[in-house]
Amino acid sequence: DLDVDLERYGNQPFVSVFFGGGTPSLMPPQTLAPLLNRLASLGLISDETEITLEANPGTLDLDHLTGYRDLGINRLSVGVQSFHAEVLAALGRIHDADQAIQMIQHAQDIGFRRLNVDLMHGTPHQTPEIARGDLEIIRSLGITHLSWYQLTIEPNTAFFSRPPTLPSEEALETTEETGSDLIASMGLEQYEVSAYAKPGEEAQHNLNYWQFGDYFGIGAGAHGKITTDRGIVRTQRTRQPDHYLARSSFMATEQPLSNGHLSAECLMNGLRLKSGISHACFHQRTGLDADQFRAEHLADADSLGLLTPDRFQASELGWRHLNRILEMLV
């Protein structure tokens, strides 16, 4: 599958490799070795390449962690979600707080310097005090990258068909206020809507994605975005694993992006970054004139002071009303 994309779209050096899309930590290290060895043999990755593995507590032991480290994986993204038993039970997680803490400490002990932890707020059974307790554990563990985001109820999920009782708006506001202050006191700076990092610890994978960079989507159901001589295309692999393995072609769809969708997608991604994206980056990604696009589509945002004047970047006011800016792009 990888070789097909490399042949079709070219083989520029990779900024990052990200094993995600489920629970890749269920795979033993030797399963991932051929893919990384192939990339290394082509000179597409080096010791400096960010290589991340998503991992859930309860799926990894010390031997697996050591194997991933020896394979060249240099960053873990740990799906903790909460350290509170009631919240974890409501979310259907298989681990407890002790398992999550132990896994993080084991990873740190064997040399994983770069760790992200995923935490949710606005979940069933969560009070502002419980949310604060989760963040205090993050502080005690010395985490340098945090994804802290509000639970959203998606269609075709158990919560969608049987909505749980969620915290009140007042409780949610308190959680977000006190949580943001606590995160800042740890030296973690918000660089994206739900991502916080010590300076220099931002995820290259995240930055490339939100800056509308290119990426291959490899594996069953994976999505990709590639710039070609014919424009930008979105790719999607065959979704069902058995069909994916049986097909001679792994690709399910390859859809060109129109100029209208292109500009909207670029900015709906870029505006999620605290730094936004430059006019030059917008032009490079889309081929469109930034000043003309801004005048035609975002004049209202400019007049309301929601954007900074020299970049596609939300102002302090605009950051608080980001959804309003994004709605102007739809």
Look at residue 154 in the predicted model and tell me its pLDDT: 86
pTM for this structure? Answer: 0.94
Cβ(120)–Cβ(81) under 8 Å? yes
DSSP label at residue 34: H
Helix (H) or strand (E) run with residue 237 in it: strand 231-237
Cβ(329)–Cβ(267) under 8 Å? yes
Per-residue pLDDT tens over the stretch 266-306: 999 999 999 999 999 999 999 999 999 999 999 999 999 99
* Selection from 80, 67, 74 nearest residue 27 by Cα: 67
Please count the other Cβ atoms lying within 10 Å of the Cβ belonging to residue 303: 9
Residue 197 exposure: Cα atoms within 13 Å on the Cβ side: 19
Torsion sign over Cα 36, 42, 48, 52: negative
Cβ(52)–Cβ(17) under 8 Å? yes
Look at residue 251 in the predicted model and tell me its pLDDT: 85
How far apart CA 227 and CA 256 sit, in angstroms, is 10
Our measurement of the distance from residue 122's CA atom to the centroid of its chain's CA atoms, rounded to an integer in Å, reads 19
How far apart CA 82 and CA 16 sit, in angstroms, is 27
| Below-50 pLDDT ranges, the chain | none
3-state SS class at 223: strand
How far apart CA 244 and CA 77 sit, in angstroms, is 26
Residue type for 270, please?
Answer: G
How far apart CA 118 and CA 143 sit, in angstroms, is 11
Please count the other Cβ atoms lying within 10 Å of the Cβ belonging to residue 261: 13
How far apart CA 272 and CA 38 sit, in angstroms, is 33
